[in-house]
A and B are shown apart, each in its own frame.
Chain A
Amino acid sequence: MAFFNKFKNIFSRENKSQEDKDLEKKKLDNSLNKTKNTLFEKISKTIVGKSKIDDNDLDDFEEILISSDIGVETTLKIINNLQSRVKKDKFINTNDLYSILKEEISNLFNEEDLKEFVIPNVNEPYVIMVVGVNGVGKTTTIGKLAYKLKNAGLKVVLGAGDTFRAAAVDQISIWAERVGVEIVKQEMGSDPASVAFDTLQSAKAKNADVVIIDTAGRLHNKINLMNELTKIKNVMHKIIPNAPHDVMLVLDASTGQNAIEQARQFTAATKVNSLALTKLDGTAKGGVVIGISDQFNIPVRYIGVGEGVNDLQLFNSKEFVNSIFDN
């Protein structure tokens, strides 16, 4: 019976996956629709009826890119590249200009897109630590990620490492219950490093596959809090030598240029390997990740496109750029 259920699950999951994919695509498209329309309209307006681009056009591009939170430095880089190519190729029509602009932005995501987490088949659990400033959606992202991993047949344990914010432990506990995974928690106000220690110990004893450690939101300029993060990270070595195997920084898509400083400081404290960009279902464009990807070489793994348990998607840089420019 159990075998049959498992089989059924796999079956229904596969069936669902194509639907899911369509749905996901639609969601991303919808969420980026606003961006797309305004960008497209603006660019069309800029270049319609012209056979070559002049400085005014470039100024307009600058405005368009900056309005998507791409940032001054990155925008200038894109524009400069565009300019030099236009100079080289002399004559450029509308369509060419599009593909060049798209290409230039895509080039800033220089690595291949990340896949889902690959959990190695070893005795020790794979540990993911989730960090970020206040209110970006760390706990929600953990809930969605736990659901994803559990559905992939993995045994997941959550660690309630936000012991500071009022009712944060309750929040992640509700997610654990909702998703159906185990959680290790202590009282509010207890040492988060000790929670991480307990979680890893318990996960190891129970032969769990994955551990996800939540942490309290902290502004990246608070040195003591950033040191605390380093301490939480270091404590994990004592149980599992290579833990945490992945440190995921959660960024809010509506955050402006400050996200670059966040990436810098969190990387300094914990060596961030991947990003999750949340709240992309709003009007925010999240263009700041282009600059982060370019400057720090930290790839985006996931995007959050809604409050539902299924609303965590793999980031696809081509789709991200395409969704911005496609008609």
Chain B
Amino acid sequence: MFDNLSNKLDKAFKILKGQGSISEINVAQTMKEIRKALISADVDFKTAKEFTATVKEKALGQEVLTSLKPGELLTKIMKDELSILMGSEKSDLDLSSKPTIILVAGLQGSGKTTFCGKLALLLKTKFKKNPLLVACDIYRPAAINQLTVLSEEVGVSVYKEEENKNPVDIANNAISFAKKNSKDVIIIDTAGRLAIDEKMMNEIGLIKNSINPNEILFVVDAMTGQDAVNTAKSFNEKLDFNGVVLTKLDGDTRGGAALTIRSVVDKPIKFIGTSEKMDGLDIFYPDRMAGRILGMGDVISLVERAQQQFNEEEARKIQKKIAKNSFGFDDFLSQIQQVKKMGNIKDLASMIPGVGKSIKDADIDNDSFKGIESIIYSMTPEERSNPVILNGSRKKRIADGSGSDVQEINQLIKQFNQMSKMMKMMQGGGASKMMQMMKGNNMPKF
């Protein structure tokens, strides 16, 4: 059975339970379990071995404080070590050259073209640049079209020569074009190639030598297994790339390849791809990734995503309404919409420490709001803004309209009331009262 890493670590730490300090004897079995867990997360065999040796060394002889279980202490040591291994600090693109030339390379199907589109959008919106996408994948059917479609989607121009079969020429022509048209960043998409394909590896070498890029980014699928070592080494020998892009991290992979690549070629991971949409590109933070590999959740990313989606003005309006006791079902509905905008609920929940494990097998999806939504949609505007008027016959009508029964309506109203009460308390600084309520298992369920 494939369990995720955090489950395995839990198992590993159980061995340490009840032990006062970490000793050679009680740590050995744990280390073996950790090594197994790392390998199952696709961390390279040797890297996993070296890593556990380092952690063991750090952990040995450490007094376990009464407030901290040995397992917790070990988790902390591991998280620190993982962050160190992955480069500690985030690493930015060097955009100082005018124009900045970025060459994108990687295996087939790793997600180069999608990344190029995302990067163009990021540079355009966040960095206020005027990028140019360049289509140098002359081999894969419709690769040029794909980049063209993406360029239109993100509103960035694309340079292509459909008839030209020489990617070196295309790249050079694109650079002259960019200079003439005051483009300040040039993103060059290339064909996917295998590390052992000498002809293709020479081709990308030629492109590099001819255009002298400022940044070379190696794109790699986060689900890559033990082969990540070979591939990363070969590409690095040929290109001496500046950074790594880890794609498809919205899957359930633990992304052990991130650890492997960093430790094998000592190049920073600069970006991670987190969805198929064009805004699904995040800057890589080693400590957050360490948390993910350990299954510890990622609160910072959660908060950031919330900040991106939640409209501050909207939030202020709702606060006012709560204060005035006029928080209604319409506001409730708009809150649900905002939560939905943040992405897959299960993904979001898994970012909360401790939650990830418990919902591993639960089927939560955005459809879980559908019942609530249809009930609210079946209410009249008056009922929505003034829920007090909901009497028996109104409830019956709503139940018929939304395909539910009166019981469900009652439950929703109860939850709604609890939620408004809770929000009022939060405003009134009654956090402790709220905690009591939560402990009393009166949490609204939705």
**Cβ of A168: which chain B residues have Cβ within 8 Å of it?**
142, 146
Among A166, A258, A281, A307, which residue has its beta carbon within 8 angstroms of that of B253?
Answer: A258
CB interface residues, A 287-314, toward B, < 8 Å: 288, 307
Q: Is B221 an interface residue (CB 8 A)?
A: yes
Report which residue of B145, B221, B225, B276 has the largest number of chain A beta carbons within 10 angstroms of its beta carbon: B225
Q: Are A254 and B365 interface neighbours, CB within 8 A?
A: no
Indicate if the CB atoms of A133 and B196 lie closer than 8 Å. no
Q: Please give the number of chain A residues whose Cβ is less than 8 angstroms from any Cβ of chain B in the complex.
A: 51
Instruction: Find chain B residues with CB under 8 A from A167 CB.
Output: 142-143, 145-146, 148-149
Please pick, from B143, B150, B251, the residue contacting A219 in the complex, using a CB distance under 8 A: B251
B107 surroundings in chain A (CB, below 8 A)? 254, 279, 282
Is B411's beta carbon under 8 Å from chain A? Answer: no
CB distance from B101 to the nearest CB of A (A): 24
A residues 171-216 near B (Cβ < 8 Å) are: 171, 173-175, 178, 188
Given contacts A224-B366, A282-B196, A283-B195, contact A257 B42 (CB under 8 A): yes
Contact A283 B149 (CB under 8 A): no
A10 interface hit (Cβ, 8 Å): no
Task: Find the B residue at minimum CB distance from A226.
Answer: B365
Cα separation A281 to B256 with both chains bound (whole Å): 23
- Report B362 CB to chain A, min CB distance, Å: 11
Complex CA–CA separation, A173 to B145 (angstroms):
12
Contact B227 A257 (CB under 8 A): no
Q: Are A260 and B194 in contact (CB under 8 A)?
A: no
- With an 8 A cutoff between CB atoms, is B40 at the interface? yes
Docked Cα-Cα span, A167 to B253, in Å, equals: 27
Closest to A224 in B: B365
The reply to whether A252 and B45 form a contact with Cβ atoms under 8 Å apart is no
Selected contact of A258 from candidates B42, B109, B148, B150, CB within 8 Å: B42
Task: Give the complex CA separation of A255 and B143 in angstroms.
Answer: 23
Q: A134-B109, A167-B145, A221-B251 are in contact. Are A254 and B346 (CB under 8 A)?
A: no
User: Which of A61-69, A99-107, A148-156 is near enough to bind chain B?
Assistant: A61-69
Q: Is B36 an interface residue (CB 8 A)?
A: yes
Contact of B141 among A71, A171, A224, A260 (CB under 8 A): A171
B223 in the interface, Cβ–Cβ < 8 Å? yes
Residue of B whose beta carbon sits closest to that of A171? B142
Question: For residues 97 through 150 of chain B, which have their beta carbon under 8 Å from a beta carbon of chain A?
Answer: 107-111, 113, 117, 139-143, 145-150
**Contact indicator B226/A220 (Cβ below 8 Å):** no
A164 in contact with B2 (CB, 8 Å): no
Is residue A119 within 8 Å, beta carbon to beta carbon, of the partner chain?
no
Q: Which of B145, B223, B224, B363 contacts A223 (CB 8 A)?
A: B363
Residue of B with least CB distance to A284: B227
Question: Does A165 reach chain B (CB closer than 8 Å)?
Answer: yes
Contact with B along A138-157 (1 / 0, CB 8 A): 00000000000000000000
Residues from chain A with a CB closer than 8 A to the CB of B142 are: 167-168, 170-171, 173-174
Question: Is B251's CB under 8 angstroms from A258's CB?
Answer: yes
Residues of A near B228 (CB, < 8 A) are 254, 256
Contact present for B251 and A72 (CB under 8 Å) = no
User: Is the CB–CB distance between B221 and A254 below 8 Å?
Assistant: yes
Can you name the residue of chain B whose Cβ is closest to the Cβ of A225?
Answer: B276
Name the CB-closest residue of A to B278. Answer: A166
Residue of A nearest to B273 (CB): A134
A171 surroundings in chain B (CB, below 8 A): 140-143, 145-146
Interface presence of A135 (CB below 8 A): yes
Shortest C-beta distance, B217 to chain A (Å), equals: 17
Neighbour of A72 across the interface among B39, B141, B257, CB < 8 A: B39
B187-204 with Cβ < 8 A to chain A: 194-196
Interface pair B346/A223, CB less than 8 Å apart: yes
Q: Which one of A164, A166, A254 lies within 8 Å of B225 (CB-CB)?
A: A254
Roughly how many angstroms separate A219 CA and B252 CA in the complex, as a whole number? 8
Closest to A282 in B: B194
A175 to B142, CA, bound (A): 10
B contact residues around A264 at 8 Å (CB): 2
- Which residue in chain A gives the minimum CB-CB distance to B249? A219
Q: With the chains together, A175 CA to B143 CA distance in Å?
A: 13
Q: How far is the CB of B123 from chain A (nearest CB, A)?
A: 19
Would you call A137 an interface residue if the criterion is a C-beta within 8 Å of the partner chain's C-beta atoms? yes
User: Once the chains are docked, how many angstroms separate the CA of A136 from the CA of B143?
Assistant: 15
A137, A261, A281: the one contacting B109 at CB < 8 Å is: A137
B338 within 8 A of partner (CB): no
Decide: A283 and B231 in contact? CB cutoff 8 A.
yes
Cα A252 to Cα B42 in complex, Å, equals 14
Asked whether A256 lies within 8 Å of B42 as measured between CB atoms, the reply is: yes
A133 contact set on B, CB distance < 8 A:
223, 248, 251
Residues on B with beta carbons closer than 8 Å to the beta carbon of A173: 142
B41 touches A257 (CB 8 A): yes
A260→B225 contact, CB < 8 A? no
* Cα separation A284 to B75 with both chains bound (whole Å): 32
CA distance A71 to B45 in the complex (A): 11
B413 CB to nearest chain A CB (Å): 28
Q: Do A220 and B150 contact each other (CB < 8 Å), given the known contacts A67-B45, A72-B40, A252-B221?
A: no
Check if B25 is an interface residue, CB within 8 A of chain A: no
User: Of residues 205 to 255 in B, which have CB atoms within 8 Å of A's CB atoms?
Assistant: 221, 223-228, 230-231, 234, 248, 250-253
B36 partner residues in chain A, CB cutoff 8 A: 72
Chain B stretch 267-282: residues in CB contact (< 8 A) with chain A: 276
Say yes or no: A135 contacts B109, CB within 8 Å: yes
Q: How far is the CB of B216 from chain A (nearest CB, A)?
A: 20
Cβ of B196 to closest chain A Cβ, rounded Å: 6
The answer to whether A68 and B146 touch (CB under 8 A), given A135-B108, A258-B253, is no
Is B1 an interface residue, CB under 8 A from the partner? yes
- B182 on the interface (CB 8 Å rule)? no
Smallest CB separation, A90 vs chain B (Å): 28
Once the chains bind, are B195 and A282 in contact (CB under 8 Å)? yes
Nearest B residue (CB) for A31: B196
Question: Nearest Cβ in chain A — how far from B47, in angstroms?
Answer: 11
By a CB distance below 8 angstroms, the chain B residues around A256 are 42, 223-226, 228, 253, 256-257
Cross-chain contact B346 with A135 (CB below 8 angstroms): no
Residues of the B chain whose Cβ atoms lie less than 8 Å from the Cβ of A67:
45, 226
Q: Are B231 and A219 in contact (CB under 8 A)?
A: no
Residues of B within 8 A of A252 (CB): 109, 221, 223
- When chains A and B are docked, how far (Å) is the Cα of A281 from the Cα of B221? 17
Counting CB contacts under 8 A, is A271 at the interface? no
Q: How far is the CB of B52 from chain A (nearest CB, A)?
A: 14
The reply on B153 being an interface residue by CB < 8 A is yes
B173 proximal to A (CB < 8 A): no
Give the CA-CA distance A307 to B108 in the complex, in Å: 10
User: Can you list 6 A-B pairs with a CB-CB distance of less than 8 A?
Assistant: A135-B109, A220-B251, A222-B344, A256-B256, A282-B195, A288-B225
Instruction: List 15 extra interface pairs beyond A135-B111, A279-B108, CB under 8 A.
Output: A34-B230, A71-B2, A72-B39, A73-B1, A133-B251, A166-B117, A166-B149, A166-B153, A171-B142, A171-B146, A221-B346, A264-B2, A282-B231, A284-B227, A284-B231
Which 4 pairs show the lowest CB-CB distances between chains A and B?
A256-B225, A135-B109, A256-B42, A174-B141
